[in-house]
């Protein structure tokens, strides 16, 4: 099969295809591809023909090579920007993909669809008792594919070594504060010590580099950003601040309640100087900054004029105010076997039903391609130029989708 892709349009040339996806609520939905966005960038006008070969291409010319697999919707924390204090209904166990099913879909993604890396998310992936088995199955079949995990760190202390031996190569720990009282308020659980012990366990298991993901909330931990950075630099961790996205289960997100990338830089600059990094950013969602002592003079390019050495780096992911959707390379598999092309998509492609009805690998790959073709241009919208108050409302919370 031949294909061409650019930023304006994409076309696949192959055999016939019929695409019907399920909405997130479970209703069937037929799709008509929009012809043009408000900003004038054209999407593919005609539904392409897709056969059982080729990458996960969407109608805007992007190719997905990064697979996020949500292993469960359950979590042992109740972070206020992600989940309500109580009341969420968990998926029944029989509605979750098994270790064998996850390994098979991962194999299809790698061998048939060109996926180059996999990250396990949740909920909290460490609540899966078979997590080591899942990682081991995929690593044994594809030892060169990086396998990463995003976790809150609770329970990691006892499992880090087994995870590393199974084939886990990278780890991100969600940690918004190192103040015990603030942590308990943000997560509704007094578990900071367990998280810190988990990070220590990951370090002892050799899971470097360890990345720390942090969300700042106004009036809670936004004044603690320099303290968190100081702790991360001392420990050798790679800290990433992430703008809060409207993916909370309570749907209480507001623009006014979002600490923006510009505000994060301003808060950090109260105690540090942020300078340019030498390498190009590439397709990374994080804008990286070299961190220098306060008072360091920078030249016009953002480098220290007197050769002062960097203390380390910090990243800022401006997922709301400085969207990187045009370079998105992600495809998401939910814990109940649905493909989501975008966090904010209101449609899902059901692979579990197809998988459990006896479909072969080529049929599953075809359905996966079909679902990704309809990926929205930006944050669930067909136009990249929209006000951030107009975010598409996610049909599921982050804990149900997977980060």
Pairing label, strands 210-214, 170-174: parallel
Ligand-binding site membership of 398 (annotated): no
Ligand-binding site membership of 82 (annotated): yes
Ligand-binding site membership of 179 (annotated): no
Ligand-binding site membership of 321 (annotated): no
Ligand-binding site membership of 211 (annotated): yes
Ligand-binding site membership of 68 (annotated): yes
Torsion (CA) 89, 79, 255, 267 in degrees, nearest 10: -170
Number of helices (H), then strands (E), in the chain: 10, 18
Rounded CA separation 313/315 (Å): 7
> What contacts 24+ positions apart, CB below 8 Å, involve 192-199?
194/153, 194/154, 194/155, 194/157, 195/152, 195/153, 195/154, 196/153, 197/156, 197/157, 198/151, 198/153, 198/154, 198/155, 198/156, 198/157, 198/160, 198/173, 199/153, 199/156, 199/173, 199/175, 199/235, 199/237
Beta-carbon neighbour count of residue 129 at 10 Å? 8
Rounded CA separation 30/12 (Å): 20
Ligand-binding site membership of 72 (annotated): no
Rounded CA separation 174/191 (Å): 13
Ligand-binding site membership of 372 (annotated): no
Helix (H) or strand (E) holding 211: strand 210-214
Ligand-binding site membership of 119 (annotated): yes
Ligand-binding site membership of 377 (annotated): no
Torsion (CA) 167, 239, 332, 139 in degrees, nearest 10: -10
Rounded CA separation 361/20 (Å): 18
Ligand-binding site membership of 269 (annotated): no
The number of angstroms, rounded, from the C-alpha of 53 to the middle of its chain's C-alpha atoms is: 26
Ligand-binding site membership of 347 (annotated): no
Ligand-binding site membership of 174 (annotated): yes
- Which tokens go with 304? 């220290």
- Sole residue written with tokens 């004038």: 40
Question: Angle 99-111/131-141 helices, nearest 10 degrees?
Answer: 30
Binding site members for S-adenosyl-L-methionine: 81, 123, 174, 245
Binding site members for [4Fe-4S] cluster: 75, 79, 82, 325, 328, 342
Binding site members: 68, 75, 79, 81-82, 119, 123, 150, 174, 211, 245, 325, 328, 330-332, 342
Binding site members for GTP: 68, 119, 150, 211, 330-332
């Amino acid at each position: 099969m031949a294909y061409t892709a650019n930023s304006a349009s994409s076309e696949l040339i192959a055999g016939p295809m019929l695409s019907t996806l399920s909405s997130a609520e479970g209703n069937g939905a037929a799709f008509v591809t929009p012809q043009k966005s408000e900003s004038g960038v054209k999407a593919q006008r005609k539904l392409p023909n897709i056969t059982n070969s080729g990458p996960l291409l969407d109608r805007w010319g992007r190719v997905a090579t990064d697979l996020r697999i949500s292993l469960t919707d359950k979590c042992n924390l109740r972070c206020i920007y992600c989940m309500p204090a109580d009341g969420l209904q968990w998926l029944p166990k029989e509605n979750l993909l098994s270790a064998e099913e996850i390994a098979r879909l991962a194999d299809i993604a790698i061998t048939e669809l060109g996926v180059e890396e996999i990250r396990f998310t949740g909920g909290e992936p460490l609540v899966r008792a078979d997590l080591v088995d899942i990682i081991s199955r995929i690593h044994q079949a594809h030892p060169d594919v990086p396998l990463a995990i995003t976790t809150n760190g609770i329970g990691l202390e006892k499992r880090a070594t087994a995870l590393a031996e199974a084939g886990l190569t990278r780890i991100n720990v969600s940690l918004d504060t190192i103040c015990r009282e603030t942590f308990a308020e943000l997560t509704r659980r007094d578990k900071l010590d367990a998280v810190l012990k988990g990070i220590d366990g990951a370090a002892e298991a050799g899971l470097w580099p360890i990345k720390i993901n942090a969300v700042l909330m106004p009036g809670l931990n936004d004044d603690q950003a320099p303290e968190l950075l100081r702790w991360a630099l001392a420990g050798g961790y790679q800290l990433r601040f992430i703008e809060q996205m409207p993916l909370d289960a309570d749907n209480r997100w507001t623009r006014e309640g979002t600490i923006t990338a510009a505000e994060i830089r301003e808060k950090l600059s109260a105690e540090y100087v942020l300078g340019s990094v030498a390498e190009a950013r590439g397709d990374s969602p994080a804008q990286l900054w070299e961190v220098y002592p306060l008072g360091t003079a920078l030249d016009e390019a953002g480098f220290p004029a007197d050769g002062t050495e960097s203390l380390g780096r910090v990243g800022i992911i401006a997922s709301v105010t400085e969207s990187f959707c045009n370079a998105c390379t992600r495809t998401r598999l939910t814990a109940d076997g649905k493909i989501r092309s975008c966090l904010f998509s209101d449609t899902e492609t059901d692979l579990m039903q197809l998988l459990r009805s006896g479909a072969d690998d080529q049929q599953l790959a075809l359905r996966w391609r079909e679902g990704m073709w309809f990926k929205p241009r930006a944050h669930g919208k067909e136009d990249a130029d929209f006000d951030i108050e107009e975010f598409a409302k996610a049909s599921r919370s982050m804990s149900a989708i997977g980060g």
